[in-house]
Amino acid sequence: MPKYITMADVAREVGVSLMTVSRVINSKDGVSLPTRLRVLNAIERMGYRPSAIARSLATRQTGTVGLVVPDVADPFFTDVVRGVEQTAYVEDYNVFLCSTDQDPEREWTVLESLEDKRVDGVILCSSRLDDDKLREVLSQHMSVVLVNRRLKGEDSRVNTLLVDNSLGSRLAIRHLLSRGRRAVGVLAGPADSPSGRQRVQSYRAVLRDAGVSYNSAWVRYCPAGMEDGQDTARELLTACPELTGLFCYNDLVAVGALRACAELGYRVPNDLAVVGFDDILLAAMVSPSLTTCRVPRYELGTEAMRLLLSHVSSRTGECEEVVLKPELVIRASAP
Amino acid sequence: MPKYITMADVAREVGVSLMTVSRVINSKDGVSLPTRLRVLNAIERMGYRPSAIARSLATRQTGTVGLVVPDVADPFFTDVVRGVEQTAYVEDYNVFLCSTDQDPEREWTVLESLEDKRVDGVILCSSRLDDDKLREVLSQHMSVVLVNRRLKGEDSRVNTLLVDNSLGSRLAIRHLLSRGRRAVGVLAGPADSPSGRQRVQSYRAVLRDAGVSYNSAWVRYCPAGMEDGQDTARELLTACPELTGLFCYNDLVAVGALRACAELGYRVPNDLAVVGFDDILLAAMVSPSLTTCRVPRYELGTEAMRLLLSHVSSRTGECEEVVLKPELVIRASAP
DNA sequence: CTGTTAGCGCTTTCAA
DNA sequence: TTGAAAGCGCTAACAG
């Protein structure tokens, strides 16, 4: 059990006041070089480390941020976390990682616990809270970055970081059309996912613009896991054997679809071209390898942290909205 | 910018002293029911949340732990993180996630930053620090759980959580031998990885016990990524075409080996049987699907957190060593 | 049952 | 250039 050295210990050792030690620690001037050196020496010798807790209480800044994600193990958020962590490290912040497990109540709870810990700010990914709840809990936080979610009316208090879903959708669907796939189905992800809905909208728009007719039965909502994708793909393909292309909510769902195809005897891409979303590591690894929309997930993390810190240290408190662009990666499942 | 309510605000509002409010918050008795109710009511109404910072300073307990991993995005640690986070949530702790990026200096730095934040304890996974440095930095922490690493001589101050690598290795090699693969190579992972070395040792022991001769050229150390596995496998297979089996440091390396096989025209499992380690999601997904040693990663996380909390709240400060057992999962790459 | 007095370890005035 | 005093928001130890 280590006994923490305090500033008073150091001051006593050197024979100066607390303030002198404090000044040295914070590299403030007003300390003669000889004194500074003696203090520095004592600090080193005694192994003194200032208590961030005490400092936080006095300065009202904790040097910590909260990162809230639906699922730590989801390969999508895994990279976001990496990005946040990396930038935090460089900027000398620590990050509280919280998983909500997709549960709004748990999301609420962790946001409160972060408030208790007096984090300097929060990065909230893919929030499942409804607008009112979200507004309420966020109003308690000093700085906020919302990732993958827009909150109307709060643009002045909340930073927003989005992926251009419409663009992704357009790239994917146009690619399929350009390859002669005119009957394109969609595994649209959770019905309550804004990004899913956005992509379906763009899907419709592209087909309309291209003068290609489509059937509303071709679009199915589904949970975002691989098993879910497999099950829903099986249903969709059985119900609509006319499909020649399939656009999936994410790569996990797409891999599920691939498995459903294998199961049903569909050859990919001959019988059915499949496009995913995100470009997780797995996408390049399955066979056939997956054509997909690459989302810059790591950059999502670094950018989120950048937005947060710039808000924290800005006197004005102005907020930004940043949109990152996906790009199409063409592989074997939809060449 | 929210203005935080303080305990004094609540006390003034209700017309009682700080202590009464404090007692109510901490559910201590010595407060009459009517008073308690009035306080509770005010807290609710004013939206008061006690500052964990101030409380930490007073109690010398922060309700936070540090989790240090080499790489947040590594699918292995991803599940460990999930386990830790889950248990932390249930037990009302917050976790600081730190990535070391395999860099000993960074590891040192983050451990110091966690010390500054006065975490109640630290879970350190696969530390790359040498014994002395490790001992030094850990001596500054109240409670420690070392995962995948043993530190001799500190058993009384440090909890240890290990995977039974020997067992895993034995299961894998015996499986290969039982299928008639007698020329088994090893992609052993980083030369400085204790778990890698442990597995190589068991590999030798099993062959010796089985009376099977082997060639030391069959064992190659390599970095732990997929590309690394692919490169090293290519070299190994080219140099030792007599191999009929391959035991890999982890699944990523094994998948790399699979790719090298495809490249070189080896059929798996006909020409070469491949066994991985860990059983990450990817293992079941590649083709041929990967035979591997499943490591209970999520349990590693929950158990680590359990060990930590039991140490934190134990008056005695006794430490434990726990070993978790892997099991063989037989799939197509080595049926 | 309730309140008062001291800190926890640091920073922020303001004096010297 | 240095230091003394007060306070950040809370709890622990005693009173009453």
A41-60 residue pLDDT tens: 999 999 999 999 999 999 99
Q: Do B285 and A285 touch (CB under 8 A)?
A: yes
Model pLDDT, residue A286: 85
Looking at residue B29, the DSSP 8-state letter turns out to be S
Q: Is the pLDDT confidence value at B192 over 90? A: no
Protein footprint on strand C: which nucleotides are under 7 Å from a CB? 1-5, 7-13
Measuring from the CA of residue A29 to each C1', which nucleotide is nearest? D1
Name the residue closest to C7, CA to C1': B58
Q: Do B96 and A64 touch (CB under 8 A)?
A: yes
Model pLDDT, residue A155: 77
CA dist., res. A275 & res. A249, Å (int)? 9
Interface probe for B, chosen from A64, A71, A78 (most Cβ of B below 10 Å), is A78
CA distance to partner chain A, nearest, from residue B318 (Å): 11
In chain A, which among 51-80 make CB contacts under 8 A with chain B?
51-54, 56-57, 62, 64, 67, 71-73, 75, 78-79
**Burial class of residue A76 in the structure, from the number of CB atoms within 10 Å of its CB (0-12 exposed, 13-18 middle, 19+ buried):** buried
CA dist., res. A137 & res. A151, Å (int)? 13
Report the distance from CA of residue A41 to the C1' of nucleotide D3 in Å, as an integer: 21
Q: Is the pLDDT confidence value at A326 over 80? A: yes
Does B54 or B192 have the greater pLDDT score?
B54
CA distance to partner chain A, nearest, from residue B89 (Å): 8
A54 CB and strand C closer than 7 A: yes
- The answer to whether B50 faces chain A, any CB pair under 8 Å, is yes
Q: Do A140 and B287 touch (CB under 8 A)?
A: no
Cβ neighbours, 10 Å, residue A160: 20
CA distance to partner chain B, nearest, from residue A238 (Å): 23
**Burial class of residue B312 in the structure, from the number of CB atoms within 10 Å of its CB (0-12 exposed, 13-18 middle, 19+ buried):** middle
CA dist., res. A123 & res. A322, Å (int)? 14
Report the distance from CA of residue A104 to the C1' of nucleotide C7 in Å, as an integer: 40
Inter-chain contacts counted by CB atoms under 8 A, chains A and B: 135
Model pLDDT, residue B3: 84
Model pLDDT, residue B155: 78
Model pLDDT, residue A314: 86
Q: Are A267 and A273 in contact (CB under 8 A)?
A: no
Q: Is the pLDDT confidence value at A156 over 90? A: no
Model pLDDT, residue B316: 81
Which chain B residue is nearest to residue A78, measuring alpha carbons?
B73
B20 CB and strand C closer than 7 A: yes
- The answer to whether B44 faces chain A, any CB pair under 8 Å, is no
CA distance to partner chain B, nearest, from residue A235 (Å): 21
Q: Is the pLDDT confidence value at A198 over 80? A: yes
Residues 6+ apart with CB under 8 A from A85: A95, A301, B72, B97, B98, B99
Q: Is the pLDDT confidence value at B275 over 90? A: yes
CA distances from A185 to A61, A288, B229, B288 (A): 50, 19, 38, 29
Q: Is the pLDDT confidence value at B63 over 80? A: yes
CA dist., res. B298 & res. B86, Å (int)? 9
Which amino acid would we find at residue B296?
P
Q: Is the pLDDT confidence value at B43 over 90? A: yes
Which chain A residue is nearest to residue B114, measuring alpha carbons?
A94
Model pLDDT, residue A47: 94
CA distances from B257 to A51, A275, A283, B115, B295 (A): 49, 27, 18, 41, 20
Phi–psi pair at B48, nearest 5 degrees: -75, 135
Name the residue closest to C3, CA to C1': B17
Q: Mean pLDDT, to the nearest integer, of B215-227? A: 91
CA dist., res. A275 & res. A292, Å (int)? 5
Model pLDDT, residue B287: 83
State the greatest distance between any 2 C-alpha atoms of chain A, in Å, as a whole number: 86
Looking at residue B272, the DSSP 8-state letter turns out to be -
CA A87 to chain centre: 14
A6 CB and strand C closer than 7 A: yes
Interface probe for A, chosen from B1, B72, B135, B253 (most Cβ of A below 10 Å), is B72
Nearest partner of B272 among B187, B171, B169, judged by Cα: B187
Model pLDDT, residue B153: 83
What are A70-116's pLDDT values in tens digits? 999 988 999 999 999 999 999 999 999 999 999 999 999 999 999 99
Of the given ranges (A328-332, B59-63, B153-157, B219-223), which has the lowest mean pLDDT? Answer: B153-157
- The answer to whether B12 faces chain A, any CB pair under 8 Å, is no
Q: What percent of chain A has pLDDT over 70?
A: 100
Angle (CA) B142-B147-B151 rounded to 5° is: 70
B19 CB and strand C closer than 7 A: yes
Q: Are strands B159-163 and B321-324 parallel, antiparallel or unpaired?
A: parallel
Average pLDDT over all residues of chain B? 94
A25 CB and strand C closer than 7 A: yes
Which amino acid would we find at residue B262?
A
Buried b (16+ CB within 10 A) or exposed e, B221-243: bbbbebebbbbbbbebbeeeeeb
What are B303-328's pLDDT values in tens digits? 999 999 999 988 788 899 999 999 99
Q: Mean pLDDT, to the nearest integer, of B174-194? A: 93
Question: Which DSSP helix (H) or strand (E) runs through B177?
Answer: helix B165-178
Which amino acid would we find at residue B284?
A
CA distance to partner chain B, nearest, from residue A174 (Å): 28
pTM: predicted TM-score of the whole model, two decimal places: 0.94
Model pLDDT, residue A231: 95
Name the residue closest to C12, CA to C1': A58
Which chain B residue is nearest to residue A113, measuring alpha carbons?
B94
Q: How confident is the model at residue A273 (pLDDT cuts 50, 70, 90)?
A: very high
In chain A, which among 235-274 make CB contacts under 8 A with chain B?
255
Q: Mean pLDDT, to the nearest integer, of A275-304? A: 94
Q: Do A285 and B281 touch (CB under 8 A)?
A: no
Given A89, A97, A287, which is nearest B85 (Cβ)? A97
Nearest partner of B53 among A59, A163, A144, A109, judged by Cα: A59
A22 CB and strand C closer than 7 A: yes
In chain A, which among 169-228 make CB contacts under 8 A with chain B?
none
- The answer to whether A112 faces chain B, any CB pair under 8 Å, is yes
In chain A, which among 118-177 make CB contacts under 8 A with chain B?
118, 139-142
